[in-house]
Chains A and B, each alone.
Chain A
Amino acid sequence: MSRELFKFKGGVHPPEHKAESTSRPIHAAPLPKKLVIPLRQHIGNPAKPVVEVGERVLKGQMIAAADGYISTAVHASSSGTVVAIDLQAVPHISGLPDLCITIETDGRDEWVAHAPLDYQAMEPSQLRMQLRDLGLAGLGGAVFPSAVKLDPGASHVCSTLIINGGECEPWITCDDMLMRHHADEILQGVAIMRHLLGSTDILVGIEDNKPEALDSMRSAAAKLDFAVEVVKVPARYPGGGAKQMIETLTGKQVPSGKLSTDIGIQVFNVGTSYALARAIHHGEPLISRLVTVTGHVLRPQNFEVLIGTPMHTLITLAGDRDGTTGVLMGGPMMGVPVPNLDVPVIKATNCILVKSKELFPPLPKALPCIRCTRCADACPAELQPQELFRFAKAGDFGRAQEYHLFDCIECGCCSYVCPSHIPLVDFYRYAKGEIWAREKDKRAADLARERHEFRQFRQEREKKEKAEKLAAKAQAKRAELAAAPAAEGAAVSDADAKKALIAAALARAQAKKSDAAPKNVDQLTPEQLHQIEEIEARRTKIRELARKPLESEEKKP
């Protein structure tokens, strides 16, 4: 099988460091005493807890449900008791805690009732809902809910399905190991994707530095009853990025600001495909994944890890060494430093990379940008990183957007080649964050303006309505009064009518007052009655006093 391959622009060749962790077989990490399962592991709305503290949960039981369309469920990775639903440290660059469900495991690892799904007999939308409830999300790094990606929509035709086995980032080998050992199951997942998307062209892209994975996938693909082309692509970072993989395999470029589905292509990671096969053919939700533990450890290798396992247990298993200078979640190019080692493994954790001074010498201090444009040559998104850096640094975010800041995939090629060692990607992340924050502020301001304007409109309307009502009432009264004297044949002036109105209103008020009897004067002792009489007498006296000056004033004119 030979296929014409295309070349994406830019890219770099960092040292691969893959052999370290592929020499040992996959081990299942032991069950930890405590599982900390974050509710925000995927893109979209965080899952909503459906269990309570103190509740016993079984392995695979849904503990938090998807909230909205772009969201996915979260499950208990083992049986035990929910001991807390609170803020816990999570693997995020900010080091801020997030809402997690903590489960104290009972060691029995007791499964909830689960059964395979007959996906061919199911309604596609119903199947997607099931996948959402099984917690499926993209395991390549973005953790986008898979159920959403498996919806071809009304107008889109996903004729091409690409299974991404690129794994271009140095040190990481979990996809490689998965393809070596679970090729059949990965392709079972592909069959389900094909069923949902109606794809006719199915390609598996694997970089040429993984010959074992290529062989294993090719022999598995040969056994299938539909055509899957396993393509060897040249290893070049970031060749495993979705957009780069699409370009390498098809020669098509995803237009700026568009999705790959707009050009009829959908891309899934091999890990996602494997998880999909486990979900459909075994009814198992996404509760574990392969994690590469490598770098400055004694035995770099891949583990099958339950989601929620603390990272330090994995590093201990792989043999921790002295001289650790930090831990990254992910690879050296795009990985994020973890704030502490108690943070759990989440759906996005493909690698735990332990750093040391020898393997990752600290970067020299940055020098000013000399505009050598080496970054522009390396940028796979065909951007002008030196310009983006200038605008981001100066806070000129509008210009940064004009230079297609949002096409940046944050792959880190520019920082890697920069002779001045400027952390360029950090500037782009900062600029993106600022732009999002400003858009959010703008939306909030628009909402406030709208509500304020509506409030003013409402107050105006209420005032008008009240005035109209009063006017109508006065008109009716006047007409009524005018009718009575008219019968007597006397013309009534406006002033007289007004006086009559006031007199009538006063009479009504008096009548109302006398009607309202005090409620607490039944069954009183003579003493109390006497007190009341005294008070009443005082009141009449005061009233008389109050009326006197008024009367004297009336006499004057």
Chain B
Amino acid sequence: MLAAIGVMAILAVAIGLVLGWSAIRFKVEGNPLAEKIDAILPQTQCGQCGFPGCRPYAEAIAKGEADINQCPPGGEEGVKKLAELLGVEPKPLDEAHGTPKPKSVAFIDEQTCIGCTLCIQACPVDAISGAAKQMHTIIAAECTGCELCLPPCPVDCISMVPIAEDLPHWKWKHPVVMMKKIAETEGA
């Protein structure tokens, strides 16, 4: 009896030590689920979801504080991917957070720009180049199309230009195949 208790006690201590050590040694920094969610989000950093950027939204989803259908730039496809990751049913986008728009980049009308730097302060990805009383311009390759620069502009010189399809951006469409109906074949 004593021996059995002793063995159990020793085992408990040994296993406890191993577990305690691995908890320290293999500690996971940050929330791995939030990381995975963040990887799916489009990184527009537009804040339409109600959070200040994609990362906070990802963390909120991971904690169960936010729904998966609050990201219009991600679209239905993004919702579907999130649903797949989290093992929940996909649902339609929440209209309250906006509707998906064609991918666009901001454009500054350089004739009207007064160089106030307000848009530069608003841009979440530092995609606007300029300085006080100097003309500003958008670095198109880095613009995410979040529209956050539109409201602060005092002279309304920024507009969103949808990305037109040109040759380097063209891609094959899903082939439309006219499937013959079986009944038709049998009839013939």
Query: B173, A423: Cβ atoms under 8 Å?
Result: no
Which of B55, B124, B168, B171 has the most A CB atoms < 10 Å from its CB?
B171
Chain A 392-429, CB-CB to B under 8 Å as 1, else 0, gives 00000000000000000000000000000011001101
Closest residue of chain B to A453 (Cβ to Cβ) is: B55
Q: Which of B166, B175, B179 has the most CB of A within 10 A?
A: B175
- How many angstroms from the CA of A454 to the CA of B42 in the assembled complex? 17
B38 near A426 with CB under 8 A, answer no
Q: Is the CB of B126 within 8 A of A451?
A: yes
Q: Mark B64-82, 1 if CB is under 8 A from A, else 0.
A: 0000000000000000000
Query: How many residue pairs, one in A and one in B, have C-beta atoms under 8 Å apart?
Result: 79
Contact status B42-A445, CB under 8 Å? yes
B125 near A40 (CB under 8 angstroms)? no
Contacting pair B172 A426 (CB below 8 A)? yes
B50-64 interface mask toward A, CB cutoff 8 Å, 1 = contact, 0 = none?
Answer: 000111000000000
B179 touching A448 by the CB < 8 A rule?
Answer: no
* CB of A74, distance to nearest CB on chain B (Å): 16
| Cα A454 to Cα B127 with chains together (Å) | 12
Identify which of B45, B167, B179 contacts A452 (C-beta below 8 A): B45
* A96 touching B166 in the complex, CB below 8 Å, given contacts A423-B177, A448-B45, A448-B142: yes
Expressed in whole angstroms, the Cα–Cα distance for A368 and B174 within the complex equals 16
State the CA gap A97–B41 with chains docked (Å).
33
* Interface size in chain A (residues, C-beta < 8 A): 35
Contact of B167 among A96, A368, A429, A445 (CB under 8 A): A96
A97 cross-chain contacts in B, Cβ below 8 A: 167
Picked from B126, B165, B168, B178, the residue with its CB within 8 Å of the CB of A365 is B178
A427→B125 contact, CB < 8 A: no
Query: Which B residue sits closest to A430, measured CB to CB?
Result: B172
Taken residue by residue from 443 to 472, chain A's Cβ proximity to chain B (1 for < 8 Å, 0 otherwise) reads as 011111101111100000000000000000
Q: Chain A, 40-52, contact with B by CB distance < 8 Å: what is the 0/1 string? A: 1000000000000
Bound-complex Cα distance A96 to B170 (A): 8
Residue B180 interfacial (CB < 8 Å): yes
State the CA gap A446–B170 with chains docked (Å). 22
Within 15-56 of B, Cβ neighbours of A (below 8 Å) are at 38, 41-45, 53-55
| A69 within 8 A of partner (CB) | no
Query: Does B167 lie within 8 Å of A94, measured CB to CB?
Result: yes
Of A368, A422, A437, A451, which one neighbours B142 at CB under 8 angstroms?
A451
The residue in A367, A433, A451 that gathers the most chain B C-beta atoms within 10 A of its C-beta is: A451
Q: Is B111 an interface residue (CB 8 A)?
A: no
Cβ A449 vs Cβ B43 within 8 A: yes
Q: Could you tell me if A455 and B124 are in contact, using CB atoms closer than 8 angstroms? A: yes
- 19 A-B pairs whose Cβ atoms sit less than 8 Å apart in the complex: A40-B168, A96-B165, A365-B178, A366-B178, A366-B180, A367-B179, A422-B177, A429-B172, A430-B172, A444-B144, A445-B43, A446-B43, A448-B45, A449-B43, A451-B126, A451-B127, A452-B125, A454-B126, A455-B126
Interface residues of A (CB under 8 A from B): 40, 90, 92, 94, 96-98, 364-368, 422-423, 426-427, 429-430, 432-434, 436-437, 441, 444-449, 451-455
